[in-house]
Amino acid sequence: MNKKREILLIVFWALLIPALTSALEGDIVKMQGVVMVVDIKQGTFVMNEKVFVWDQHTAIQTEKGIQTTLDKLKVKGWVYVEGVEDKVRNRIEVKKIYLLSKRIDRKEKHNYPFME
């Protein structure tokens, strides 16, 4: 009986820990879209009707992987974003921003390693 109980506890914890980690970290978000609004002073932009925030740790690169600055982030410009959803504040905390020259179709994604 003890063995059965131990196995059940192990399975329970194995299933519970990833769920808790996911809840604490938030959902990982990866998406591309057109920037609708940029507020450099607030450290925010709007894309696909969602609010994105960045901080000093956010990496910003061109589609070729070259580091660049936030002043290149423009309204009506295409971007690809990796971040974490903050459901409490209803926003996405951006970890990486890639400035794109155009929308990247599914067929073209293999040319952009950060999209795989």
Q: What is the residue range of 102's domain? A: 27-115
Alpha helix (H) residue ranges in 26-91: none
- 42 falls within a domain: yes
- 19 falls within a domain: no
Q: What number of residues does the chain have?
A: 116
Give me the number of domains the chain comprises.
1
Tell me the pLDDT of the chain averaged across its residues. 85
The CATH code of the domain that includes 95 is 2.40.50.320
- What is the predicted pLDDT for the residue at 45? 96
| Token pair of 90 as six digits | 């209803």
- 4 falls within a domain: no
* C-alpha distances in Å from residue 82, one per residue of 5, 10, 22: 41, 33, 16
How far is Cα 61 from Cα 110, in angstroms, rounded to an integer? 18
Q: Whole-prediction pTM value?
A: 0.75
- 16 falls within a domain: no
Instruction: Give tens-digit pLDDT for 4-19.
Output: 666 655 655 555 455 4
Instruction: Give tens-digit pLDDT for 54-92.
Output: 999 999 999 999 999 989 999 999 999 999 999 889 999
